[in-house]
């Protein structure tokens, strides 16, 4: 039986086993998928044991995405640009390939599941941390008119924008600098939603028919999505589909078949 797992710390809350088992049933792929708690300093040793014992692939969650980046023998372009790895695959020669499926998972959710358009749109991303870095290249590949990264620490937003400038029109700024700017798509990549906080956003940010997306998700709409609704956003979505979407991209890398995310998202939504 082909063996897969997710490594993290903490890991008890992970929905990855449920998602991948659902994918396996849907596609008829024979595999096992478990979650494994790993000590803070124990990633490399645990990964070596997993692959030495015949493991085929790993998903990586907090706090090990940089460890996985270092562990991989080779990296996909999207992993290189993200500077982090959330998927490892053992190749036929025994070497380990590192990939980052987060960005493509989000883009697929936005376009395929919600029917929004990114191409030619003015996109605002809130935050400049690892989550945002992970999605920028796939987002810019959709050829938006422009991408603005707003962050409390402006230098961080500007540095991030500069490092992705080869992929499209992207710039960094402060939240204050958003005054009088208008956007078609706003993506919240900050973790503020988890603590019930909202970035300091000015009024009148949303264009007519604007769509707002939060990478976080929960049983209730996040603080950001409540704000977006009050601001008149035409459509709002949380990141549950991104979670399932990045898993589908991992599954595709491992098994060569891409599962349908919609029924899995519906099942998970009902369980929240």
Averaged in consecutive runs of 10 residues, what is the pLDDT profile of the chain (272 residues)? 96 96 98 98 98 98 95 96 96 98 97 97 96 95 98 97 96 96 97 86 95 96 96 97 98 97 97 93
Range of the domain at 190: 103-238
Instruction: Give the per-residue pLDDT at 245.
Output: 98
Judgement on whether residues 35 and 118 belong to the same structural domain of the protein: no
Q: For 233, how many CA atoms within 13 A lie in the half-sphere containing its CB?
A: 22
Question: Within this chain, do residues 146 and 195 fall inside the same structural domain, yes or no?
Answer: yes
Q: What is the pLDDT of residue 205?
A: 97
Residues 110 and 85 in one domain: no
Do 247 and 188 share a structural domain? no
Q: Are residues 148 and 206 in the same domain?
A: yes
Same domain, residue pair 7 and 91: yes
pLDDT of residue 194: 77
Domain count, the chain: 2
* Catalytic hit among 15, 48, 65, 258: 65
Q: Are residues 77 and 129 in the same domain?
A: no
Q: Do 133 and 215 fall within a single domain?
A: yes
The two tokens of residue 126 are 């809130």
What is the pLDDT at residue 182? 98
Instruction: Confirm whether 65 is a catalytic residue.
Output: yes
pTM over 0.75: yes
Same domain for 19 and 56, yes or no, is yes
CATH number of 181's domain: 3.40.50.720
Q: Are residues 232 and 116 in the same domain?
A: yes
Residues 152 and 266 in one domain: no
| Together in a domain, 137 and 218 | yes
CATH code of 17's domain = 3.40.50.10860
């Amino acid at each position: 039986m082909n063996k897969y797992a997710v490594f993290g710390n903490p890991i008890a809350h992970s929905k990855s086993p449920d998602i991948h088992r659902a994918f396996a049933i849907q596609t008829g792929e024979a595999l096992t998928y478990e979650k494994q708690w790993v000590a803070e300093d124990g990633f490399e040793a645990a990964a070596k044991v997993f692959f030495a014992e015949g493991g085929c692939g790993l998903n990586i969650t907090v706090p090990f995405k940089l460890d996985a980046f270092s562990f991989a023998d080779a990296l996909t372009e999207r992993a290189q640009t993200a500077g982090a790895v959330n998927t490892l695959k053992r190749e036929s020669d025994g070497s380990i390939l590192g990939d980052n499926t987060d960005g493509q998972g989000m883009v697929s959710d936005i376009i395929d599941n919600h029917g929004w358009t990114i191409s030619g749109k003015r996109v605002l991303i809130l935050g400049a941390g690892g989550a945002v870095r992970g999605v920028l290249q796939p987002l810019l590949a959709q050829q938006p008119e422009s991408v603005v990264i707003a962050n409390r620490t402006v230098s961080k937003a500007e540095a991030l924008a500069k490092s992705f400038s080869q992929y499209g029109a992207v710039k960094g700024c402060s939240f204050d600098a958003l005054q009088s700017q208008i956007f078609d798509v706003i993506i919240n990549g900050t973790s503020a939603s988890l603590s019930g906080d909202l970035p300091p956003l000015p009024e009148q940010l949303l264009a007519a028919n604007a769509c707002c997306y939060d990478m976080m998700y929960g049983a209730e709409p996040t603080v950001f999505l409540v704000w977006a609704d009050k601001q008149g956003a035409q459509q709002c979505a949380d990141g549950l589909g991104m979670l399932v979407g990045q898993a589908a991209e991992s599954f595709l890398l491992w098994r060569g078949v891409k599962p349908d995310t919609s029924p899995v998202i519906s099942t998970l939504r009902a369980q929240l």
